[in-house]
């Protein structure tokens, strides 16, 4: 396992919109990592920003709101508007974050789930395990999907 390629996978899996769901296929098909290595690196890189975001979104919001009127207005508007439409999150709480993260589609990843947990007021001790569970499910689906697809394409290539 190349150290620099591992760092690239970690960094890419930590970025919003890319996350583990795109870093894992890249690690397997482009960098030649074993599926287990790609899974581990993708998941590790994806969890680090989640912990930081869940811990520091609220203090950053409080700091900005206390110092800048524009931020105070924005966050007040955001919380009032969002929490008014929060039936699903009120009913299911942190559990609603699991399928939100688990479905490996664009804009449904861990970064967005952190923002949702913040806006809906889901506490760290509930949101982190839920987001992590969704990330594990998404990483498993992605790893299994890409290895299956690669195997099928290899078989089809041998036939042709």
Nearest 5 degrees, angle CA 33-CA 37-CA 38?
Answer: 70
Q: How crowded is residue 148: how many other Cβ atoms within 10 Å of its Cβ?
A: 10
What is the model's pLDDT at position 45?
97
Q: Terminal CA-to-CA distance of the chain, rounded, Å? A: 32
The structure's pTM equals 0.85
pLDDT digits (tens, 9 = 90+) for 12-49: 999 988 899 999 999 999 999 999 999 999 999 999 99
17 vs 103: CA distance, rounded Å: 13
* C-alpha to C-alpha distances, 116 to 18, 31, 147, nearest whole angstrom: 18, 33, 31
The C-alpha R_g of the chain, in whole angstroms, comes to 18
User: Domain coordinates of the chain in residue numbers?
Assistant: 47-159
Q: Across residues 101-113, what is the average pLDDT?
A: 85
């Amino acid at each position: 396992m190349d150290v620099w390629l591992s760092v690239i996978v970690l960094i890419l899996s930590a970025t919003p919109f890319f996350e583990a769901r795109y870093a894992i296929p890249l690690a397997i098909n482009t960098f030649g990592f074993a599926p287990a290595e790609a899974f581990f690196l993708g998941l590790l890189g994806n969890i680090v920003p989640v912990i930081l975001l869940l811990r520091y979104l609220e203090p950053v919001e409080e700091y900005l709101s206390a110092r800048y009127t524009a931020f105070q207005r924005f966050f007040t508007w955001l919380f009032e508007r969002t929490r008014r439409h929060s039936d699903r999150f009120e009913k299911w709480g942190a559990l609603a974050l699991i399928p939100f993260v688990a479905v490996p589609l664009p804009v449904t990843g861990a970064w967005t789930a952190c923002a949702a947990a913040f806006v809906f007021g889901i506490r760290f001790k509930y949101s982190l395990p839920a987001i992590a569970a969704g990330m594990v499910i998404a990483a498993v689906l992605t790893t299994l999907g890409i290895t299956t697809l690669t195997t099928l394409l290899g078989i089809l290539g041998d036939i042709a």
